[in-house]
Amino acid sequence: MDINIIKEVREKQPLVHHITNEVVMNFSANGLLAFGGSPIMAHAEEEVEDVSRLADGVLLNIGTLTEKQVNAMITAGQAANEAGVPVVVDPVGAPATKFRSKSIQTILERVKPSLIKGNAGELAHLIGEEVETKGVESTGTGNEKSIAERVAQTYETTAVVTGKMDVVSDGTETRTNSTGHPLLAKVTGTGCLLGSILAACMSATGSSVTKIHTALEFFGAAAEYAASQEEVQGSGTFTPRFLDALAMDPDQWRGDEQ
């Protein structure tokens, strides 16, 4: 983990424009604030262009997509592309319905993503493959590395496949991360929040793979620390401590463990 990337992000407090799903808006905003970023959420087509131009990063998450949102995402994404603002795309549940599948294709044809993140099923779907899923959740597979690499190559971007082992690839360099905790899967929107944090980290200097790898490692390690607190007995008591951990330095996590 390159702690200087985290420090740089916290210094900058990057403004991340979210067009994200309604389930996670509050949690993503609180998680990004804790981490050190600055969330803004706006999805009216009348204003998304203005907001994206203001922002240091744009997150497009299709978790509760509507037709109107597809248009707003394209408008926001194109404005960001023009202004040189990084765009992170999270194709939540893309394989689950024809509407999501078609919409994400439309978005990716019109907007150039700086990063695509999702689980194995979602990213495999973007390259025309199928992985067993349950609702919007993806079950394990052995091909995460290959999926990440091929998504990165196909879309000329950086790709992150999340799971028990996370993979980040720009199509050439590929790295994995194994920090994390099972409670993350018991709290809705942790994957969506990760997208917000990745968008914030894209605004730091350095190579995408390095920045994103650090963010993945940090996020999972924060979850491990939170889950290790003795007050934590389930997903309910885990969540406040996870938010606290996102605001800490890794040194603090280790200090508390002693």
Of 249, 252, 177, whose CA–CA distance to 10 is shortest? Answer: 249
Question: Which residues in 225-244 contact a second copy (CB under 8 A)?
Answer: 231, 233-237, 239-244
One-letter-per-residue 3-state SS of 218-235: HHHHHHHHHHHCCCCCCH
Of 13, 154, 179, 228, the one binding a second copy by CB under 8 A: 13
Site string for a second copy, 34-63 (x = CB under 8 A): x---xxxxxxx-xx--xx--xx-------x
Mapping DSSP to helix (H, G, I), strand (E, B) and coil, where does residue 70 land?
Answer: helix
Using rule CB under 8 A, residue 1 touches a second copy? no
Distance (Å, rounded) from C-alpha 46 to C-alpha 68? 11
Contact 181, 223 (CB under 8 A): yes
Instruction: Closer to a second copy by CB, 69 or 158: give it.
Output: 69
For residue 127, which amino acid is it? I
Of 131, 233, 9, whose CA–CA distance to 118 is shortest? Answer: 131
Q: Which residues are annotated as a binding site?
A: 41, 117, 162, 189
Task: Give me the least distance between CB of 26 and a second copy, in Å please.
Answer: 6
Provide the 8-state DSSP code for 164.
Answer: S
Task: Give me the least distance between CB of 135 and a second copy, in Å please.
Answer: 4
Instruction: Closer to a second copy by CB, 50 or 156: give it.
Output: 50
Which chain residues interact with a second copy by CB under 8 A?
A: 13, 15, 21-27, 29-30, 33-34, 38-44, 46-47, 50-51, 54-55, 63-67, 93, 96-100, 134-137, 186-189, 231, 233-237, 239-248
